[in-house]
Structures are given as C-alpha cells and as structure tokens.
Amino acid sequence: MFPELNNLLNTTPDRAEQGKLTLLCDAKTDGSFLVHHFLSFYLKANCKVCFVALIQSFSHYNIVGQKLGVNLTMARERGQLVFLEGLKSAVDVFFQAQEKPHPLQFLREASAGNLKPLFEFVRDALKPVDSGAAGWTYPVLLVDDLSVLLSLGLGAVAVLDFIHYCRATVCWELKGNVVVLVHDSGDVEDEENDILLNGLSHQSHLILRAEGLATGFCRDVHGQLRILWRRPSQSTSQRDQSLTYQYKIQDRSVSFFAKGMSPAVL
C-alpha cells in the first residue's frame, strides 16, 4: 500500500471504514496501481479478501505485492486470500466438467447472460466460516476489472446487478468493503461503459479517478488523481468533497503532490 495515498484518504489499515463501495476508474492512463494499493492495504488490515482478477495472472499481482510488502502466495495458502484467476479458469469452462456452474459460466452462453454464478462464488468465498479459527476482521471483494466483462459480451445492466448483489451481501450483510476498477472510455463513444461507470458512481461512497495529463505524457508527472467522497449534503461537512492531486509512480511507491508542485518542476 502507498502511505501517501492513505494520508490523502485519511485512513489506515487499522481504522478503515466498513460497508463501503469504492470505485476506481482510469481515463487515458493505467489505474492498476490503485488496485495493487487496495489489495495490499486490505491484506495488511487482516481482512478476508476475494480477488476476482480478470486481467493479469496471479504471479503478476504477487510480484507487485511483494514490492508493497505482502506475500500473496502465503495469504492464499492460509486462506486469507481467495483468488479467481480469470485468465486461467476461463479455459476450464470449456474443458472441465463442473457439477455446479463455473463462475465464468456466461462465457458459454450465446445470449446475454447474467453473473449469478460469479456472485455465488464471491458469496461462498466470503461467508464467515463457522470454525472461527481464522479470525479475519471483515471481508473485502476486489474486482480487476469490470470493463472487460462488457467486452466479453455482458450488458451493463447485468454487471450493475452483479455489483448490486455483491454490495447487498458484502457491504450490508457482512459489513465488508467492495473495490472495483472500471475504465473510462473517454473520447470513444461507448454507451454501455458509460452506463456502467455512471451507475457505479451513484452506488459508490468513494470514487478515485486516475487521469492522464491533458497535455500528454510526462516523465515526472504520470497523471492526476481525483478523489470524490459521496456524502449526503450535510451542513457540517468538515472534509472537502473533492480533491485533486498529481502523482508519480516509482518502483515501490507512489508520490503525490498538489498540482504544479512536482519536485521536478520546483
């Protein structure tokens, strides 16, 4: 996890809020550093994490995780991390006989399917185990990412329904957190992606948006992060509703600074 990002969000692994949906989105840049941050953050917070990883392999996340101080292999072995490796298990849908529907069963369906099997996988992964030996703090669902589900043929409403059910189970029933990543297509007209992004924005408590700089690529400033807290319109809101910072990604950390205050420029 990145300590500077924790400071901006005013949170630490010990006292993170529960029952929240955090939306990560990126536009014209790669926002996956936010996924690595939250993965290591919640593992350090001793949470039971279910990671639906559709984009990269397990070893990729493991390598980055080790730079951030978490060992995914060990977390998986001791049962703290339930990892669905989409790239590998997508093939199992076709070549292995399953008694119950595979989480990615929608890949086999010709017509527009739904994500009920994936939801049932998440629910079974995160439901509290009766043995009580593990003692994890609260469950967390992490999805990287949802836009690829649209590319695989699902409709935006099906993905929104899946997140709705995850929110009802993980956030409300189990008092855990959900973190999802969606790409913003930006200039490209993609109605389904826009519905997905806007629909999730309305359901989220916190939105982190990584944007590339409008002027293009820069060696010292990799992008801009906009943080939007969605809170009810209360009269005594002491914190700001929205903050914007620029950032630079280094090997093991990300440094944040106010706009125009990059150390390279000063």
Partner 1 sequence: MLDSLLALGGLVLLRDSVEWEGRSLLKALVKKSALWLVYHDFFRDPLNWSKTGEALPGGPLGALRAMCKRTDLGPVTIALDSLSWLLLHLPCATLCQTLHAVSYQDSCPPGDGSPVGKVHVLGLLHEELHGPGPMGALSSLAQTEVTLGGTMGQASARILCRRPQQHPTDQTQWFSILPDFSLHLQEGPSKEFQPQSDPHIPLVDPMAHLTFNLHLSKKEREARDSLTLPFQFSSEKQEALLRPRPSQATSHIFYEPDAYDDLDQEDPDDDLDI
Residue 127 interacts with partner 1 (CB under 8 A)? no
Residue 237 interacts with partner 1 (CB under 8 A)? yes
Of positions 93, 152, 157, 243, contacts partner 1 by CB under 8 A: 157
Least Å from the CB of residue 78 to partner 1: 30
Query: Helices 156-166 and 191-203: crossing angle, nearest 10°?
Result: 20
Number of residues counted as binding partner 1 (CB under 8 A): 28
Judged by CB under 8 A, the stretch of 6-14, 175-183, 192-200, 250-258 that binds partner 1 is: 192-200
Residue 164 interacts with partner 1 (CB under 8 A)? yes
| Contact (CB, 8 A) for 113 and 101 | no
**Greatest extent of the chain over all pairs of C-alpha atoms, in Å:** 62
For the chain, the distance separating the N- and C-terminal CA atoms, rounded to the nearest angstrom, is: 27
Counting runs of H as helices and runs of E as strands, what totals does the chain give? 9, 9
> Which of 211, 221 has the CB closer to partner 1?
211
Binding mask 3-42 for partner 1 (x = CB under 8 A): ----------------------------------------
Cα-to-chain-centroid distance, residue 26: 12
Least Å from the CB of residue 234 to partner 1: 6
Least Å from the CB of residue 174 to partner 1: 12
State whether the Cα torsion 74-87-110-187 is positive or negative.
positive
Residue 235 interacts with partner 1 (CB under 8 A)? yes
Find the DSSP H helices in 69-206.
72-77, 86-95, 116-126, 147-151, 156-166, 191-203
Least Å from the CB of residue 226 to partner 1: 11
- For the stretch 7-31, what's the b/e string if a residue is b when 16 or more beta carbons lie within 10 angstroms of its beta carbon? eebeeebeebeebebbbbbbbbbeb
State the residues that interact with partner 1 by CB under 8 A. Answer: 114, 116, 119, 157, 160-161, 164-165, 168, 172-173, 194-195, 198-199, 201-202, 207, 228, 230, 232-235, 237, 240-242
